[in-house]
A and B are shown apart, each in its own frame.
Chain A
Amino acid sequence: GNSVTQMEGPVTLSEEAFLTINCTYTATGYPSLFWYVQYPGEGLQLLLKATKADDKGSNKGFEATYRKETTSFHLEKGSVQVSDSAVYFCALSEINNNDMRFGAGTRLTVKP
């Protein structure tokens, strides 16, 4: 079945540091890939997505590229801010939209 594996946290960085959160997936078909962010006490917000191989999703300085050859969708940001502190979830969904799978989540803390 489909699954998502994320690097375990927590991750603690200083402000302006470079961020990478690894995500790899297993899928039988051609899924869409997502990164969601969850701030304390809140629901999930879509951060970015990619729907096919080699697509790059980007938003708020975050980027992730859909790599079919390595089945990966790593999240990167060149310079993190304190306000980026949150939990980040990698997810995939097949075209039928009824099978969204989430990674375990990675908690990021950015210190000033």
Chain B
Amino acid sequence: GAVVSQHPSRVICKSGTSVKIECRSLDFQATTMFWYRQFPKQSLMLMATSNEGSKATYEQGVEKDKFLINHASLTLSTLTVTSAHPEDSSFYICSASARRLAGRDEQYFGPGTRLTVT
């Protein structure tokens, strides 16, 4: 149980285009979803937290107009990288939590999406 999927797993796009990444909780309802960014050989950096039906809360330094997050349902959150540039190339990982599962403080991670902007 508690499986989180991401789509696509890899995407290559041209500079200036937008890319949408989906994060789904497959067998539970996620009250909260998180988006992280991971640079090569570095740790995860939290970008934003989203609760179903409300606006995402962004971490300091993360541009909310560039990284659009939509949490339209209890099983789906999307991250759209708008007007992507090469410096946006990174590994994006989502996670989801649900208070009824195994305590309130565990996040279940997706497999990640590698974005390459050329």
Contact = CB atoms under 8 A, between A and B. Distances in A.
B109 A36 contact: yes
B105 A102 contact: no
Given A44-B93, A102-B44, A105-B43, A97 B32 contact: yes
B107 A97 contact: yes
B43 A94 contact: no
Contact of A93 (B41, B105, B108, B110): B105
Interface string B87-118: 00000010101010001111111111010000
Interface of A: 31-32, 34, 36, 41-46, 49, 51, 89, 93-98, 100, 102-105, 107
Nearest to A104: B43
A34 B95 CA distance: 15
Interface residues of B, number: 24
A103 B106 contact: no
B43 A42 contact: no
Nearest to B97: A97
> Chain A CB within 10 Å — which of B43, B110, B114 has the most?
B43
B100 to A, nearest CB: 12
B19 interface: no
Nearest to B51: A98
Nearest to B2: A46
B75 interface: no
Interface in B25-42: 32, 34, 41-42
B46 interface: yes
